Amino acid sequence: MALALHAEGLWKLYESGESVIQAVKDVSLAIEPGSMVAIMGPSGCGKTTLLNVLSGIDEPNSGVVIVNGENLYASNDDERTRVRGKQMGFIFQEFNLLPVMTALENVELPLLIQGMSASDARKEATKALTAVGLGDRLEHRPAELSGGQQQRVAIARAVVHRPAIVLCDEPTGNLDAETSASVIQLLRTLCKVGNTTFLIVTHDETIAQQCDSIRRMSDGRFLEALREEE
C-alpha cells in the first residue's frame, strides 16, 4: 500500500532584498495511511511554509512530494490541481465556508466540481454531515451555526471525497477549549473508524498529544534531523 504522503528533500527559499531566506531546509516526511501526525514549532519555524509546499500551494525549490503514489509536482498546474482535488482534503483555522450556501451545499460542492452527479453528491454530502453529527443541520447556513458546528461542516467537506490525506492548519485556532477538544476527538474518530489520514499543524500541545506521532520543527527543519547532524 502506498504511503498517504511521502516528501523527500524539500527545500523552499525566498529572496529578501540581497539575502536568501531558507524557510524549509531538506525536510523529509513519510505518513502511513490511517495515521494522525502533528507538526509543532514556534512561529516562524517553517510549519506553514512546509504545509503550503506539501499541499501544492507553493512549489518547492527542490525535492518531491508523493501523495498516495502520485507525484504532486511531476507535471503542469492542471495535473497538480487534479491531484490536490482527488487526493487531498483541507481544514483551516478559518472555516472558509460559503455564507450563501447551506451546510449541505458547502459539502457537496467539491464533489460537483469533480464531476459527480447532483444526486450522488447530495447523498455523499448528507452521509458526511451525518458522520460529523450534523444530520439535523443540513439546510442551515454558516451564520446559523456555532463555530464548532461550522468547523464540523468544514471537516465533512474535507473528507467527503475520501482523500488520501487531510491537511489541517491550526484547525481549532478559532475555537474555545471545550469545542476544540470535541473537534479533535471527531478527527480521532474519523482516523480510527474511517481510516482517514490527518497531518495537523498546531501550536496546541494538548492536540498534538492526541496524535499518533509529533514532528517538531525549528529553523526550517525537523528537530530529529538537526540532532542527526550534531
Domain ranges of the chain: 33-56+78-229
Neighbours of 158 (CB within 10 A): 25
Closest CA to 38 of 165, 216, 180: 216
Query: Rounded distance, CA 63 to CA 142, Å?
Result: 39
17: left (phi over 0), alpha (psi -120 to 50) or beta: left
Per-residue pLDDT of the chain (230 residues; tens, 9 = 90+): 789 999 999 999 998 888 999 999 999 999 999 999 999 998 889 999 999 999 999 999 999 999 999 999 988 889 999 999 999 999 998 999 999 999 999 999 999 999 999 999 999 999 999 999 999 999 999 999 999 999 999 999 999 999 999 999 999 888 888 999 999 999 999 998 888 999 999 988 988 999 999 999 999 999 875 444 43
SS (H, E, C) the chain: CCCCEEEEEEEEEEEECCEEEEEEEEEEEEECCCCEEEEECCCCCCHHHHHHHHHCCCCCCEEEEEECCEECCCCCHHHHHHHHHHHEEEEECCCCCCCCCCHHHHHHHHHHHCCCCHHHHHHHHHHHHHHCCCCCCCCCCHHHCCHHHHHHHHHHHHHCCCCCEEEEECCCCCCCHHHHHHHHHHHHHHHHHHCCCEEEECCCHHHHCCCCEEEEEECCEEHHHHHHHC
Cα 136 to Cα 145, 166, 183, 185: the distances in Å are 12, 25, 18, 20
Looking at residue 162, its pLDDT comes to 93
Looking at residue 225, its pLDDT comes to 52
> What CATH architecture is 33-56+78-229?
3-Layer(aba) Sandwich (3.40)
Query: Rounded distance, CA 64 to CA 83, Å?
Result: 14
Side chain identity at residue 90, one-letter code: F
| End-to-end alpha carbon distance in the chain | 34
Looking at residue 104, its pLDDT comes to 98
Residues in the chain: 230
Residue labelled with grid coordinates 500541545: 205
